[in-house]
Amino acid sequence: MSAFFCQIEDALKARLNDEETRHLKVLRIKEGETIQCLDGKGTFYDCVVEKIGKDYTELSITGSVQISGLRNFRLHLYVAPTKNADRMEWLLEKAVEVGLDSITFIETEHSEKHRVNMSRMERIAISALKQSGQSHLPTLNDLKKLSEIEVSGLKLFAHCAVGPKEKLSKLFSEPIAKGTDIHVFIGPEGDFSKNEIETFGKKQFTAISLGDARLRTETAALYSVVVINALA
């Protein structure tokens, strides 16, 4: 059965937006039928279709199941958008399928992309969530200047310049403490600048190696998400 992404109004009522309503109509689901919905926050709902409008659907909630997160830590990805928007859309889709807690788009000294279509990104993330059966929709954060971002927890960044690095695949030899925030920063197609790399070091970030091959931005970002999910 197809799952629908819904907005929860109260303990007994939910609603589908225009896009989900179009999906409902394509499947020829009628008023009075039962569908399964998810809220992206870890809960699946059994709902009865009460009213199908032109660009909305009203639902009544008849049951729910809470799904706990698959990881005991929180994974946050920060990535500089590529000039080709399709590559970022591909990354977002695959990263949501694998699983993470947030994605933040960053603007760096070498960035060539200075705008992200966040409404489209949200639609792609929701579609990937539904397709993969994941229970938690990651938080999507619009473009922020790298210099304005401050984080705490396990702080990692990947770059191509010569220098000491920890191999990501060997970084998690010990279990990660429950509740740890892992932050991974991936630079633009022109890499992080020398100044940015030095700033990461001053802020006690760990430089990581993603292997011997030179990876595209979106490949490096997805590789990080996959490896951390697999090893941690």
pLDDT of residue 1: 60
Q: Which residue has the tokens 């009203």?
A: 58
Other Cβ atoms within 10 Å of 120 Cβ, number = 13
Burial profile 6-29: b = 16 or more Cβ within 10 angstroms, e = fewer: bebeeeeebbbeeebbebbeeeeb
Q: Please state, rounded to an integer, the average pLDDT across all residues of the chain.
A: 93
Q: What is the pTM of this model?
A: 0.92
Count of domains forming the chain: 2
Helix (H) or strand (E) holding 131, with range, is: helix 118-132
CATH label of the domain that carries residue 51: 2.40.240.20
pLDDT class of 28 with cuts at 50, 70, 90: very high
Domain residue limits at 35? 3-66
Q: Across the strands, what pairs with 130?
A: none
Output the pLDDT for position 52: 97
Encode pLDDT of 96-128 as tens digits. Answer: 999 999 999 999 999 999 999 999 999 999 999
Residues 192, 152: one domain?
yes
Do 152 and 44 share a structural domain? no
173 lies in the same domain as 222: yes
- pLDDT tens-digit series, residues 182-204: 999 999 999 999 999 999 999 99
Q: Which of 16, 40, 66 is a domain's end point?
A: 66
Tell me the percentage of the chain whose pLDDT exceeds 90: 82
Question: Are the C-beta atoms of 173 and 138 separated by less than 8 Å?
Answer: no
- Final residue of a structural domain among 31, 47, 66: 66
Q: What is the separation of C-alpha 105 from the centre of its chain, rounded to a whole number of angstroms?
A: 11
Distance separating alpha carbons of residues 97 and 103, to the nearest angstrom: 13
DSSP SS3 for 177: coil
The proportion of the chain whose per-residue pLDDT surpasses 70, expressed as a percent, equals 98
